[in-house]
Amino acid sequence: MIEVKDVYFTYSTGVEALRGVSVRIGKGEFVAIMGENGAGKTTLIKHFNGLLKPTHGEVFIDGINTRKASIAELSRKIGLVFQNPDHQFFCETAEEEIAFGLRNFGFADRNVHERVEWTLTLLELADYRKSSPFMLSGGEKKRLALASVLAWDPTVLILDEPTIGQDHNQKEKLHKVIGQLTAQEKTVIIVTHDVEFVAECNPRVLIMSQGQIVMDGSA
């Protein structure tokens, strides 16, 4: 599903964020990427949907080299939920935010309505359908960002710090959603510092430090 081959990435500022990263993530896997701030975690996941291209090395999604595919093409398969939801909101209401991606990918109006209703209910956001995304609480914004990506049913779901701002019940809900997705052979990747959540979910864990993967194994 995802293959990273000896990837290096240097930002325009000169900061080398990735240094020789190689990893394979298979269909239906649940993977947590952990490590200190600045380890390269977010930089790595932005390579999976083409937001960033390797300075050296290659990234393949289902055999497609990300250098040769557009972000739009990759995003249909790879759904990325940013750590800061405000960075991906721009519609006036929560339901419009969820519907936007579906319409952009060409879903029929009936399917758009059904999938908006499904995600609003699943993530307990139905009461906020007419609310501005920017007026929601931090935890509600996190759930709306997840809903807006989950709605189009990507093959791979990537979540950057998904448990920030979530109470215990919402973390349990997220755990169940992840379980449902992996049962459908979807690949789920989370970037997180939440050790307790990882311990409860028991995913494969990649530990990063200074731009490299230093450990890879079970939780």
Q: Return d(Cα 120, Cα 51) in angstroms, integer.
A: 27
- Coil, strand, or helix at residue 68? helix
* 169-190 per-position pLDDT tens digit: 989 989 999 999 999 999 999 9
Q: What is the pLDDT of residue 72?
A: 87
Average pLDDT over every residue of 74-84: 92
* Residue found under tokens 């090395």: 57
Counted residue by residue, the chain has a size of 219
Contact 39, 192 (CB under 8 A): no
CB-CB neighbours of 49 under 10 Å: 24
Average pLDDT over every residue of 207-215: 98
Q: Return d(Cα 180, Cα 211) in angstroms, integer.
A: 32
Question: How much is the mean pLDDT over the chain?
Answer: 95
CB-CB neighbours of 12 under 10 Å: 5
Nearest to 201 by CA among 173, 164, 165, 167: 173
Residue 200 C-beta-side C-alpha neighbours within 13 Å:
14
Q: Calculate the CA dihedral of residues 208, 213, 215, 217 and round it to 10 degrees.
A: 100
Axis crossing angle, helix 138-150 with helix 168-183, rounded to the nearest 10: 10
Q: What is the pLDDT of residue 28?
A: 95
Rg (CA), the chain: 17
Average pLDDT over every residue of 114-122: 95
